[in-house]
Structure 1
């Protein structure tokens, strides 16, 4: 976590420097015309319909809208991601989860797809604002505002107004705030919108209050040092900032400063903020800090907030906080009892990030929903549980679940699952299952096993599919085998 003080910036204008005269180069001869490359062979389609959704927010991929070759590239990227997940620590996986989202849109209901897209746009816009990329932020916020019926539109309108004000577009910023008040009369953002409106009007020429935002930011800089040397004095001052009419960004920064203190009172204030009655973004920030700080008391606060809220975004944040704190027991309980399929899937996913292999095996064994079982299979992939996936790929009675297990094996390192996939291909009589194994080996870029399968294959149609996959791999083994076929 990095604390950034929002101080005003100046602009320096460089003087013009007169250098020596530039001597033009003599004309260069024209390059010869290059011959046209021969056309690439057609890319075979890959069955991706049953691939589990990587529900990790902000890239939203809709495989139905891109071509087969792009699908191949996506699958190869996922294979690399799966390999990384096998060797990464829990903290890296948690960061990865916040940084990337591979979401297979056709697997989700339209409502979930729209909410996921809105969440991704919102996070990206907030990052743009924090980095001073205000034009980019407005573009992302406008896209979010245009999404119908999503839960982040009121927040997007607030941050759009904030960003417009940063760009000096004060009239437009006030218009955006009026739109927020008109469309969302009961929004939790209205209090902050009123405070922002006052700041914008003051910046237009009215007298500036002693409690202006710039003064508060300077106070935060001082409080950051004071909280280490004299927390008894600093903590009450930060609490007043959180309880007052400070801007959202000032409150978020104040909360971060507070999280650096080890005092019991500081933790009480963070817990109080996590319980609500504050700006929604500030509440989410407090929830993340409680998860990072850990401890049974903080996790109990998170549990109470979860059970007392109907806000899906808030509950998702708490599930991630449980993962950060390593709370397998609560995640398992929610994976079993949560009535929302989306939140159940989130809880299952967080168990995968924690490598909770025993808990996931228990969930799979007792789960009746095929869709939720697919989510558990995905979590096993995230947790690197190759042995369990291999077992299910061999023994699962449901064909679709077997296929899902095989696909997940293809997303793991060849050294761990390649031999198992080879055995599956040679021992299974089902053409559909064998075709799924071929796809998994291709995603894994396992040219050696594919070449062995092609040599042993008696079915001309199946052999043709394997050769088509090999023709797309940049591998010496694949190239040598293809040259053999040409002799």
Structure 2
């Protein structure tokens, strides 16, 4: 049997698909508006890539702290601190913390002092001052191995209190949260507080969720409130959502609502939130929750194309093939139609293969037909690609179909290519 590459090349040649075609003329003059929009898009992409990199480095630093890999933590947090981003002050604190763990007391003090000077209004100031005090108190002393053991014992003790009498431990938990303890110990303290129903514990947890501690603990407090659910926790999250101007905090609260099953509040945000970014986040969470009817109602009311695309994506996440097929057939906006088709292509061929075939048969727009072909390709659905290739008369679409089949390691695809050769 011929090598697959030879078969593909021959098949393409026989169908006249390798013939050169004149390139589309590129306009030599474009409007200043188009240039500006393209520049903005490039800048936005660069900003997003930078934020993703910073977030990844910060998370790697946190993982290094958890694993006791202090030097790696220093390296990761140094990179984030130098970026002058929204996480720079947090990175400076954890860099100082890791330096202290390495026994580099002078460097740790300098790092903590640098944070105070560079970010005098930071929510990490109190943590930095507590860390500096601890470093001075232990100045000249090496990090004791038993200190690590002490922390492990504290973690075990907190786990015990979690199952016995968490209310008794509230004063100690407050002390841990305000001290220069490890992130793991502070997170465990918050976890215990989230399970307690004592008024004082609720007050401490509410303070953390509202930003009374450092931002990392605020995010954890919000997460735990969502995990443990309950009306009181959801009401507290709603209060924080209304009061906070921080989009990231609001986004995390929407996720916490979803985890706790509070569909009503997520739907309210998706319907009435002034920020398109937050509406899109709420829509995504509705998809995770499988809120099919709510998503369909939102789609019919929504005016913003970007948010509509997020609703389509949420329908895919929720597995709502029926509505996606309906949109692929009837949506007047061509880009939204293609978005629905792309998401259908990402679903199993058993659910959407026949619908995509019907769409292809009735579709006149060339680019939309290519989108449908791409969907079959993602499904590895060689049978349907061959079936429509046999009927296709448009040379450009035949090229698209044979090109896709040439990339599939499928006997059905190979047999079709051999069939072309044998004609």
TM range (shorter): 0.7 to 0.9
Identify which of 45, 60, 64 aligns with 1:128: 64
2:333 alignment counterpart: 398
Judged with a 3 Å threshold, the aligned counterparts in structure 2 of structure 1 residues 405 and 446 are, in CA distance, closer, same or farther, namely: same
Judged with a 3 Å threshold, the aligned counterparts in structure 2 of structure 1 residues 217 and 111 are, in CA distance, closer, same or farther, namely: same
Which whole-Å CA distance do the structure 2 matches of 1:229 and 1:271 have between them? Answer: 22
Contact 2:170 2:200 in 1 (8 A): yes
- 1:80-91 equivalences in 2 (<5 Å): none
- 1:401-412 equivalences in 2 (<5 Å): 401-412=336-347
Do residues 298 (structure 1) and 233 (structure 2) align? yes
Identify which of 251, 275, 287 aligns with 2:210: 275
Contact 1:192 1:247 in 2 (8 A): no
Q: Which runs of 5+ in 1 are unaligned?
A: 1-36, 45-104
SS at match of 2:90: helix
Identify which of 140, 157, 175 aligns with 2:76: 140
Contact 2:58 2:77 in 1 (8 A): yes
Contact 1:213 1:246 in 2 (8 A): no
1:364 alignment counterpart: 299
Which whole-Å CA distance do the structure 1 matches of 2:271 and 2:296 have between them? Answer: 13
2:192 alignment counterpart: 257
Q: CA deviation at 1:109?
A: 5.7
Which whole-Å CA distance do the structure 1 matches of 2:258 and 2:375 have between them? Answer: 29
- 1:295-444 equivalences in 2 (<5 Å): 295-444=230-379
Contact 1:393 1:405 in 2 (8 A): yes
Contact 1:323 1:350 in 2 (8 A): yes
Q: CA deviation at 1:448?
A: 1.3
2:36 alignment counterpart: none
What do the CA deviations read for 1:46-88 (whole angstroms, capped 9, x no partner)?
Answer: xxxxxxxxxxxxxxxxxxxxxxxxxxxxxxxxxxxxxxxxxxx
1:447 alignment counterpart: 382
What do the CA deviations read for 1:232-265 (whole angstroms, capped 9, x no partner)?
Answer: 4334432443355655443222122334556676
SS at match of 1:282: helix
Which whole-Å CA distance do the structure 2 matches of 1:457 and 1:473 have between them? Answer: 19
Which whole-Å CA distance do the structure 1 matches of 2:69 and 2:348 have between them? Answer: 38
Which whole-Å CA distance do the structure 2 matches of 1:39 and 1:199 have between them? Answer: 71
Identify which of 177, 181, 195 aligns with 2:130: 195
Which whole-Å CA distance do the structure 1 matches of 2:133 and 2:329 have between them? Answer: 65
- Larger relative helix fraction: 2
Which whole-Å CA distance do the structure 2 matches of 1:231 and 1:294 have between them? Answer: 18
Contact 1:271 1:298 in 2 (8 A): no
Judged with a 3 Å threshold, the aligned counterparts in structure 2 of structure 1 residues 168 and 477 are, in CA distance, closer, same or farther, namely: farther
Judged with a 3 Å threshold, the aligned counterparts in structure 2 of structure 1 residues 478 and 38 are, in CA distance, closer, same or farther, namely: closer
- 1:90-109 equivalences in 2 (<5 Å): none
1:166 alignment counterpart: 101
Identify which of 397, 404, 414 aligns with 1:469: 404
Contact 1:114 1:147 in 2 (8 A): no
Q: CA deviation at 1:115?
A: 3.5
Judged with a 3 Å threshold, the aligned counterparts in structure 2 of structure 1 residues 236 and 373 are, in CA distance, closer, same or farther, namely: same
Higher relative contact order by CA 8 Å / sep ≥ 6: 1 or 2? Answer: 1
Q: CA deviation at 1:267?
A: 4.6
Identify which of 26, 31, 55 aligns with 1:119: 55
Q: CA deviation at 1:170?
A: 3.5
Which whole-Å CA distance do the structure 2 matches of 1:469 and 1:107 have between them? Answer: 33
Contact 1:158 1:176 in 2 (8 A): yes
Q: CA deviation at 1:399?
A: 0.7
Q: How many residues align?
A: 387
Judged with a 3 Å threshold, the aligned counterparts in structure 2 of structure 1 residues 39 and 170 are, in CA distance, closer, same or farther, namely: farther
Contact 2:210 2:240 in 1 (8 A): yes
SS at match of 1:185: coil
Judged with a 3 Å threshold, the aligned counterparts in structure 2 of structure 1 residues 138 and 338 are, in CA distance, closer, same or farther, namely: farther
Contact 2:328 2:340 in 1 (8 A): yes
Judged with a 3 Å threshold, the aligned counterparts in structure 2 of structure 1 residues 240 and 153 are, in CA distance, closer, same or farther, namely: closer
What do the CA deviations read for 1:404-431 (whole angstroms, capped 9, x no partner)?
Answer: 1111111111111111111111111111
Judged with a 3 Å threshold, the aligned counterparts in structure 2 of structure 1 residues 267 and 293 are, in CA distance, closer, same or farther, namely: farther
Which whole-Å CA distance do the structure 1 matches of 2:74 and 2:414 have between them? Answer: 49
